[in-house]
């Protein structure tokens, strides 16, 4: 009878160890998932802010030449800042089918930055926009 009680106690101890190890792994995976979700949210916010800033430029008929602008976004996105530069691409010839609509081609560089803990994260976009005639 004493041997069976010892065997049951060993089974219970082994079950507790296995469950404890499983619980630790589950908590670690949940923590990693939460960190990834937070990081994804930051990148999505940066993407939306970049899209908004580029749409502001597109709505202008003429892109400002040799612009360098560095600002922080207003609240609630005040932890994000950007550097926007434009450069006229005079050496690129405009195709004939676009000639009635397009005046000049501009290279636009947009870099968004934000602080994540003690690290600075960045998101960089380079695109080309046309001046409309």
- Cβ(82)–Cβ(70) below 8 Å: yes
Query: What is the C-alpha separation between 22 and 37, in angstroms, rounded?
Result: 23
pLDDT band of 126, cuts 50, 70, 90 = very high
What 8-state DSSP symbol labels residue 96?
T
Is the backbone peptide bond immediately before 95 cis, with ω within 30 degrees of 0? no
**For position 40, what pLDDT does the model report?**
92
**For position 59, what pLDDT does the model report?**
84
**For position 63, what pLDDT does the model report?**
77
Answer yes or no: is pLDDT of 82 > 90: yes
**For position 106, what pLDDT does the model report?**
83
CA distances from 62 to 89, 97, 133 (A): 14, 20, 8
CA distances from 6 to 12, 16, 124 (A): 10, 15, 64
User: pTM of this prediction?
Assistant: 0.71
Largest CA distance in the chain: 99
pLDDT digits (tens, 9 = 90+) for 43-64: 999 999 999 998 888 887 777 8
pLDDT digits (tens, 9 = 90+) for 1-38: 556 666 788 888 899 999 999 999 999 999 999 999 99
**For position 22, what pLDDT does the model report?**
94
């Amino acid at each position: 009878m004493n041997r069976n009680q010892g065997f049951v106690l060993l089974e219970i101890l082994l079950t507790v160890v296995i469950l404890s190890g499983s619980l630790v792994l589950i908590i670690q995976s949940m923590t990693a998932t939460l960190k990834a979700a937070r990081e994804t949210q930051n990148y999505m916010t940066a993407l939306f802010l970049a899209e908004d800033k580029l749409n502001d430029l597109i709505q202008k008929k003429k892109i400002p030449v040799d612009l360098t602008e560095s600002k922080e976004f207003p609240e609630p996105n005040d932890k994000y800042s950007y550097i926007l530069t434009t450069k006229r691409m005079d050496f690129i010839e405009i195709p004939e089918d676009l000639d009635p609509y397009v005046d000049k081609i501009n290279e636009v560089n947009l870099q968004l930055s934000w602080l994540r803990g003690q690290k600075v994260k960045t998101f960089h976009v380079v695109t080309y926009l046309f001046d409309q005639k």
